[in-house]
Copies of this chain bind each other. A is one copy, B any other.
Amino acid sequence: MNDSMLKKIRLRDGVFAPRQKINREVTIPTCIQRCEETGRLKAFKLEWKPGDPDEPHIFWDSDVAKVLEGMAAALMLEPDPALEKQLDELVELVIGAQQPDGYLNTHFTQVEPEKRWQNVSGMHELYNAGHLMEAAVAYFQATGKRNFLDAMCRYADHIGSVFGREPGKKRGYPGHEEVELALVKLAEASGNKRYLELADYFIRERGREPNYYVEHENSPRKTLIRVQAHKPLLEQTKADGHAVRAMYFFAGAADVARETGAKDLFQAVERLFRNVVEKRMYITGGIGSATVGERFSVDYGLPNDTAYTESCAAIGLALFAKRMLDFTGEAGYADVLEQVLYNNGLSGISLAGDTFFYCNPLEATVATFEPTSPVREKWFGCSCCPTNYCRFLPRLGLFCADAAPEKLRIDIPAAMNVSLPEYEVEVKGDYPYDGRISVRIVRGGEFTLALRIPGWCRDHRLELNGKCSDVSPENGYWQCRRIWQAGDEIRFTMEMTPEVIYANPNVPADAGKAAVRRGPVVYCLESVDNPGILLHTVRIPAHPEFQECPADGLPEGTLALHFRGEAVRTVAGGPLYSANAPEYVPAELCAIPYMLWQNRGPAAMQTFLLVR
């Protein structure tokens, strides 16, 4: 996942590109303001004294780092001197808090200076470090300025002097993974292989016996699984524990596997990826289904109402899937990536870019109004999700294509322009709402062009310069190497009709139900479009007749689906239990993309519907 590719891919579609604009104009400034208001920025001045308000919290640094990273990524998309100046100043503020030995953490430097590295299982020190490193790499790539990168190399050197297998060092590893993948980025940007070795150490040491957390930090053994430290990665067969941590951990391990060629690590993460997508993922790409603890539950334990499905976990799954995709070139990983991006990946942030879901349930009814809020919030005490969007949205283009001089791989055919010294290619169309796209060569050259045949697609047709191509797909991609000429055009038509999709019958929550999906987009019913009926009672036929219509009050181009079903009318009171079956009436239903729900005021919502 090379951020420098950000400069080469410019999205022009109707779903992702507007989010990038809003991120620059609203989300980033809003998050900076919240960091200012809450004391997160001030904390880097190191002026806090015991008794002062706004005591620097253990995860504050990460929020600031993620906003900085988002600003740098936004600059790579589009130069902006004012934004760059603001970023330069924030970078100066942040690196001004670095200690002579390279350490940088506003909480421990000010609040508990004597407790540095004493509780890595619980105190997020290495997690913050990782986010700062990711921000530094992005800043370097965006601006060419080395100050932040150099500071983070010094920090990484310090961390390497504290942790490792050598005598006198702590054999610890982060309680919240993140620094592993950051160290791989740092190694690449700085050219210093030691950071890769440190990442490798953190990944392989985790969960070994004697267990570091148990021996040195008094962790009860039963808590180890929450942080994936219950056994070594190579022995883990199920994605367990805190979902965001698991994703960052596995993504980092995939990075190390790629950089070091370690097959054992690759096999481990490949197995864990399969466990996620075969048994522990919602149809929306959401993960972490346990009501409590932001964590994975059990295989097939996927309740729709109490789904935790943290926005950051979906982002984490996208990061993991992207690495597996780049590593293997297999379209199956792009299918998952796409499933995340067009559903849970965007549902966590409002279209206006200023409010956020922490949890992304698939159903919001009276019964869910308690554990999960159906209204997006401006900020959270633990505000990881808003700042994660700051850095996730500018990177959406990276998830759509991989552009190397020898090969352009189009994973998600959103409208975009890909420009390298070697060639320039334009993808046009209204994907994901229209299955017809064209790929046009703007500036030619010899390279392989690979175009993914989506897993959801039952039938497709591909024409190269007007002639039908019957090249057999490789790894799920139509692939063609030639000397491309300007004006060459591929017309790719994917059959895209609404479908009724069933969960595996082992999923108790979805028994007797199905969801509606069109292409990669999962649909849901929202009460605002379906007044007067109880959404959770809606029953649809196994083969509804769908009509595709513009969606009311949602961005131009958004398709709503109209179809017939039946439902119970909204009623107040009545006996709680009765031998009389509820009365169903015919209902004209309207479904909208799940990723856009709750953008027109609070509403009940239902994704899985009863099937007659």
Name A residues whose Cβ lies closer than 8 Å to a Cβ of B. 277-279, 281, 283, 290-292, 297-303, 305-306, 363, 365-371, 499-509, 511-512, 514-515, 534, 536-537, 539, 542, 568, 571, 573-582, 610-611
Known: A277-B576, A502-B582, A504-B576. 19 other contacts (CB 8 A): A278-B573, A290-B370, A292-B292, A298-B366, A303-B303, A365-B508, A366-B506, A366-B508, A367-B509, A499-B579, A501-B577, A502-B581, A504-B577, A505-B568, A506-B534, A511-B610, A514-B581, A515-B577, A542-B581
Query: Is A537 a contact of B509 with CB atoms below 8 Å?
Result: no
What separation, in Å, do the CA atoms of A242 and B328 have in the docked complex?
53
Given A291-B292, A301-B366, A303-B305; A610-B277 close (CB under 8 Å):
no
Given A502-B577, A537-B505, A576-B504; A370-B611 close (CB under 8 Å):
no
The 4 A-B pairs with the shortest beta carbon distances in the complex, nearest first, are A301-B367, A508-B536, A365-B508, A505-B582
Query: Is B579 a contact of A502 with CB atoms below 8 Å?
Result: yes
Instruction: Return chain B residues, CB-CB under 8 Å to A514.
Output: 581
Query: Is B576 a contact of A502 with CB atoms below 8 Å?
Result: no
Query: Is A512 a contact of B539 with CB atoms below 8 Å?
Result: yes
Q: Shortest Cβ distance from A378 into chain B, in angstroms? A: 19
Which residue of chain B is the closest to A363 with respect to CB atoms? B508
Which residue of chain B is the closest to A604 with respect to CB atoms? B508
What separation, in Å, do the CA atoms of A35 and B496 have in the docked complex?
66
What separation, in Å, do the CA atoms of A500 and B503 have in the docked complex?
27
Instruction: Return chain B residues, CB-CB under 8 Å to A279.
Output: 576
Which residue of chain B is the closest to A514 with respect to CB atoms? B581
Give the number of times this chain occurs in the complex, counting copies.
2
Query: Is B278 a contact of A291 with CB atoms below 8 Å?
Result: no
Instruction: Return chain B residues, CB-CB under 8 Å to A502.
Output: 577-582
Q: Shortest Cβ distance from A254 into chain B, in angstroms? A: 21
Query: Is B363 a contact of A577 with CB atoms below 8 Å?
Result: no
Which residue of chain B is the closest to A290 with respect to CB atoms? B370
Instruction: Return chain B residues, CB-CB under 8 Å to A499.
Output: 579
What separation, in Å, do the CA atoms of A485 and B571 have in the docked complex?
52
Query: Is A534 a contact of B505 with CB atoms below 8 Å?
Result: yes
Which residue of chain B is the closest to A304 with respect to CB atoms? B508
What separation, in Å, do the CA atoms of A514 and B537 have in the docked complex?
13
What separation, in Å, do the CA atoms of A365 and B278 have in the docked complex?
18
What separation, in Å, do the CA atoms of A506 and B536 have in the docked complex?
8
What separation, in Å, do the CA atoms of A367 and B503 have in the docked complex?
14
Q: Shortest Cβ distance from A507 into chain B, in angstroms? A: 8
- Within the complex, which residue of B507, B576, B610 is in contact with A278, where a contact is CB–CB below 8 Å? B576
Query: Is A367 a contact of B303 with CB atoms below 8 Å?
Result: yes
What separation, in Å, do the CA atoms of A277 and B573 have in the docked complex?
12
- Within the complex, which residue of B305, B536, B611 is in contact with A581, where a contact is CB–CB below 8 Å? B611
Instruction: Return chain B residues, CB-CB under 8 Å to A537.
Output: 505, 511-512
What separation, in Å, do the CA atoms of A579 and B371 have in the docked complex?
31
What separation, in Å, do the CA atoms of A370 and B537 have in the docked complex?
27
**Most chain B CB neighbours (cut-off 10 Å) among A277, A363, A514, A577:** A577
Query: Is A367 a contact of B581 with CB atoms below 8 Å?
Result: no
What separation, in Å, do the CA atoms of A363 and B509 have in the docked complex?
11
Instruction: Return chain B residues, CB-CB under 8 Å to A298.
Output: 366-367, 369-370
Instruction: Return chain B residues, CB-CB under 8 Å to A577.
Output: 283, 501-504, 515
Instruction: Return chain B residues, CB-CB under 8 Å to A301.
Output: 366-367, 369-370
Instruction: Return chain B residues, CB-CB under 8 Å to A370.
Output: 290, 297-298, 301
What separation, in Å, do the CA atoms of A505 and B535 have in the docked complex?
10
Q: Shortest Cβ distance from A219 into chain B, in angstroms? A: 20
Instruction: Return chain B residues, CB-CB under 8 Å to A277.
Output: 576
Which residue of chain B is the closest to A371 with respect to CB atoms? B291
Which residue of chain B is the closest to A500 with respect to CB atoms? B579
Q: Shortest Cβ distance from A352 into chain B, in angstroms? A: 28
What separation, in Å, do the CA atoms of A610 and B514 have in the docked complex?
14
Which residue of chain B is the closest to A301 with respect to CB atoms? B367
Instruction: Return chain B residues, CB-CB under 8 Å to A500.
Output: 579, 581
Given A291-B306, A499-B579; A504-B536 close (CB under 8 Å):
no
Q: Shortest Cβ distance from A122 into chain B, in angstroms? A: 21
